[in-house]
Amino acid sequence: MDSQVLIIGAGPVGLTMALELGRRGVNVLLVDKRSGFGKLPKMERCNARTMENFRRMGISAPIRTAGLDNDMPMDVFICLENIVNPALIHHSYASVNNLRAQYQATTDGSMAAEPYQLISQYTLEPLLHDLSKRYDNIRIVFGHELVDFTQDDTGVTAQLRLADGIITESRADYLVGCDGASSTVRERLGFVLEGDSLLEMRQALFYCEDLLERIPIGIGRHYHIADSTNSFMIVQDDKKHFSMHATVDSDEKMAPLFERIVGFPIKYKQLYVGGWRQRLMLASQYRDRRVFLAGDSAHLVIPTGGLGMNTGHADAVDLSWKLAAILRGWGGPALLDSYEAERRPIGARNIAASRRAATGRRAWRQQWRPEITEDSPAGEAVRSQVIMVAEREQRWSNDLYGIELGYQYTNSPILMGANDASSMADVESGFTYRPVVQVGYRLPNTWMSDGRSIQDIIGDEYALVVNQKNDIPYLDQLEREFRRIGAAFSVVELDTTEALAVYGSDLLLVRPDLHIAWQAADIPKDPAHLVATITGNCSKNTQRDF
């Protein structure tokens, strides 16, 4: 049961982390206390940044194949009483395949390499599990519950309880808690979740063979109902399962509510019903020496805005390459210090964005009055008010492209020249992504002359993006310094005028997660300090020199 990295929790975040570490040659053990994967949707969307990461992992294609029909329109409806009456609001959104064509044709850096993908959690988890079988160095076991752990200067010893009650020990260099909102890892570390609890909701999952194609107002992904119970229905990835959320006071009310929302007789099965609470919370810390938190164990982001799993996924990508660098010998201790410094502010930022989206949705729902269905001046006034507010506020739930792509790491010990501006400043402009070529930001995506994304050309470690490779002073010294410490390094030469216009004339040194680590007009004569800083080998405030 020994490993280099022990991951607790086989949700999408833990599985992503196992895959990222496994493909980088790290020996991983992933354990989960469940007997197997569940059948609850929970998350439904991998956003554009997440799909870019899956693309670099080489698994975006199977995820799209398993997900929602990519030719289906992604429309959102706000409905009056049911999905039969004419919609109060119909927001049209292009299909994923139309978005892919649009992204491929965009050359100004404003579009990602991949659009989002709708896929239910109960589909994504077993798919990631199957993909992990490509790697002999990844072991995933169920029926193993973390009981406790201790850590010392050389590793972590975890006590795991098996399904038959037997306690076994597992030794690892590092432990990562991806074990959700009720995280045992967080509890044992003594970290607390701080934030707000919002609505108490109920979720139900229904199976219905032919509902989607029979909806009179049209096919879409989300159907919000203007009613007193905050009801909304989500189409799941096979188009035969539908999750529904509402603020009713008993499980027994969900099926009649579903029937009322559908508005016409139909055969269905209720597969699940249960309660949950909307919470916006952030852990007081993300790390204690060799133990880390990622995903819902570190932050709780409500589904409004679609930032929950995607924030955790980005945690996993960030921490994985840093742990792999440490374990392969070229990464320095500041890499591990940088994890909380970079990811916790983004957790706070995404919580703020989700709160803003929830506030927007609440704003139009608060306009509801019982007379909304009346054919009267009073009814017309209520409907007009709901429409006016919802047209302005509902898009916060679906159009957070700037939040997804436009975040910046600041105050990080492994960035050279990043400013200290707060990453919270752009929450109110979350609709729009504006490509920024600065230290700490994700490198905007452009397309090369052969049609490939620049992301496909950049390797899994460091890359220098240049206008012209020839005659760059001290490039040889920079390459030698990376070789000396054992980190892979490549040079990517831009070959289109559009890419040159996006990136400008500076040299851009990009890290394994595609964030810009350094930019300048020239390479320093002695690049040792630059390389030492961005690889974590030069820091004034490391926790321990492991």
Q: How high is the pLDDT of residue 424?
A: 44
Q: How high is the pLDDT of residue 430?
A: 66
Task: Say whether 521 sits in a helix, a strand or coil.
Answer: coil
Q: What is the mean pLDDT of residues 88-104?
A: 96
Calculate Rg over the CA atoms of the chain. 24
Closest CA to 463 of 405, 508, 409, 505: 508
Q: How high is the pLDDT of residue 429?
A: 62
Q: How high is the pLDDT of residue 417?
A: 80
> Using one digit for the tens of pLDDT, what is the confidence trace for 277-295?
899 999 999 999 999 999 9
pLDDT at 421 over 60: no
Q: Regarding predicted confidence, which is higher, 469 or 264?
A: 264
> Using one digit for the tens of pLDDT, what is the confidence trace for 470-492?
789 999 999 999 999 999 999 99
pLDDT band at 427 (very low <50, low <70, confident <90, very high): low
Give the class (CATH, top level) of 3-68+119-190+286-331. alpha beta
- We find that the CATH architecture of domain 407-534 is 3-Layer(aba) Sandwich (3.40)
- 31 burial (CB, 10 Å; 0-12 / 13-18 / 19+) is buried
Tell me the two tokens of residue 448.
């090369």
Question: Quick one: which H or E segment has residue 46?
Answer: strand 45-46
> Using one digit for the tens of pLDDT, what is the confidence trace for 168-219?
999 999 999 999 999 999 999 999 999 988 889 999 999 999 999 999 999 9
Q: How high is the pLDDT of residue 41?
A: 83
pLDDT band at 415 (very low <50, low <70, confident <90, very high): very high
Q: What residues does each domain of the chain span?
A: 3-68+119-190+286-331, 407-534
pLDDT at 366 over 60: yes
What percentage of the chain has pLDDT greater than the value 70?
A: 96
Q: How high is the pLDDT of residue 539?
A: 52
pLDDT band at 21 (very low <50, low <70, confident <90, very high): very high
> Using one digit for the tens of pLDDT, what is the confidence trace for 25-79?
999 999 999 999 988 888 889 999 999 999 999 999 999 999 999 999 999 999 9
Q: How high is the pLDDT of residue 71?
A: 97
Task: Say whether 47 sits in a helix, a strand or coil.
Answer: coil
Q: What is the overall mean pLDDT for the chain?
A: 93
Backbone dihedral angles phi then psi of residue 202, each to the nearest 5 degrees:
-120, 140
Q: How high is the pLDDT of residue 428?
A: 60
> Using one digit for the tens of pLDDT, what is the confidence trace for 121-159?
999 999 999 999 999 999 999 999 999 999 999 999 999
pLDDT at 410 over 60: yes
Q: How high is the pLDDT of residue 425?
A: 47
pLDDT band at 305 (very low <50, low <70, confident <90, very high): confident
Cα atoms in the 13 Å half-sphere on the side-chain side of 85: 17
